[in-house]
A and B are shown apart, each in its own frame.
Chain A
Amino acid sequence: MSGQVNPSVWRAPALSWRWWPVFRRNWLVWKKLAIPSLVGNIAEPLMWLVAFGYGMGALVGKVTVDGVQVPYILFLASGSICMSAMNAASFEALYSAFSRMHVQKTWDGIMNAPVNLDDIVMAEMLWAAFKSVFTVTAILGVMLALGISYSPKLLVAWPVLLGVGITFSCVALIFNALAKGYDFFTYYFTLFLTPMMFLSGIFFPLEQLPAVVRDISQWLPLTNAVALVRPLFMDQWPVDWLRPVTVLTLYAVGGFWVALALTRKRFRA
């Protein structure tokens, strides 16, 4: 009898339009809870912004970015919106995706229909990115209302932040694939995301960091996200945009690939 070779989990993603009904499924659930979840999603980042921006801002005054003096609240807002994109995407791709994958067995149900695992992972990735854009949009609206920045280049910042959401969704799905329970995600947040928050030039300029740490920081996805978004808030084009775009793309593509491989492994029983 013909022996069958179990295909490698590292094979290329087999993607099709079939991710779309899975994305719509998440959309339909979320629609029922959108307003309360919106409050939760934007309340915390705004508290940070107001407390730190106005409180610390009064002490700090202006901050120098690439030789330009900007108010601290602008400095902070342009960084913290990247952090919000990161947190929203990570939260959705970890806790929520894990609930659907492991607790509710929603993915198992979907895979009995003509939808393969690759499309489900793709849908979850895009869904988490969408959730992060939704949060970002709401926060941007409040920032406009507060008059923090009126830069027309915010229109460009918006798709850039979608890219940031995609990047962090992809990376988070790796940890989703590895998780045995919700507790596991605490490690990801406290050992990876929280330190990154402080090392990516969100609260204070990178120049404050020791040289070694600064070198490491240059390779963190959040640092590269801030490098793209902050100039746009200042109504400037990022001078060196190619490097951060490349780093973020590498994290996104590499992250998705690894996440998919590990998820395939998880489901290969």
Chain B
Amino acid sequence: MSDFLDEVEAAVPALRRYARALTRDADRADDLVQDAIERAIRKRALWRPTGPLQAWLFRILLNIYRNDMRGQRRRGDHVALDTPGAEPATPAPQHGHLALAEVGRALDQLPQDQREALLLVAVEGASYADAAGILGIPAGTLMSRLGRARAALRTLTGTADEPRLRTVK
């Protein structure tokens, strides 16, 4: 039991980061994480120690998030951006960096399934296999969501001809 809780505890910072990026609201993100941990603790008998606990926790968190979103579908939540070029691009920021506020706003406009996929890979650094498993989708679907998410972000955040960014780890 305490091993289990230790492992959950170790996963909390990453869960918070993912929830923050998903919701872009610190309080709501922590509520989400709290719900996920509670559910995990209550359901821990269902967890098979063979699988990675962290992936299981992400799956639980996503389920709660999706239910929340279904419950409170807000206006403007599902702007269809499947066709790159549909939205006017804003001027590119300087020095090759993307303006963070702009990226944040663009993130808000991504369809939920694309946002879930992109953040899992780009922010959490999940392998494609892990990400597909967490999202409950085939690998091919993951890649197409990733492709559409990146195309949409590019459309929303600027143009292509900018100096190359230093590699940031």
A complexed with B: no
A contacts, CB < 8 Å to B: none
